[in-house]
Amino acid sequence: MHHDLKWVTFHGTYDFTYVLKLFTRETLPNTAQEFAAKASTYLDKLVDLKLAAKYFRGLKDVEVSLLSRILHVRRLGEAHNADSDSLLIA
């Protein structure tokens, strides 16, 4: 693995769970702690912005559009279109 890669997602834990299963070809861990330990081996720098936002006052239930404005990330296209949402989340 390239340890200089940074993996950033918005509510993508399930996606990375699937990626981890593809990488390892093993059954998935039973607990969140086991998942975190295994994920850190393959996805060294992984940040889920939706999960991280829970720990900041006023951002607990933030939507991706608001978070993108806070982080100064420009949206391409209309909100709630699959292509625009996918690009913004990516």
Residue with tokens 């990516």: 90
Domain ranges of the chain: 6-89
Residues contacting 37, CB < 8 A, separation 6+: 29
DSSP SS3 for 6: strand
Q: Give the lowest-confidence range in 23-27, 76-80, 84-88.
A: 84-88
pLDDT digits (tens, 9 = 90+) for 63-76: 777 777 777 777 77
This model's pTM is above 0.85: no
pLDDT digits (tens, 9 = 90+) for 2-59: 667 777 777 787 788 888 888 889 888 888 888 888 888 877 777 787 777 777 777 7
Query: Per DSSP, what are the bridge partners of residue 9?
Result: 48
Residue with tokens 């404005």: 69
Report the C-alpha gap between 68 and 64 in whole angstroms.
Answer: 6
Dig out the tokens for 30 from the structure: 């039973």
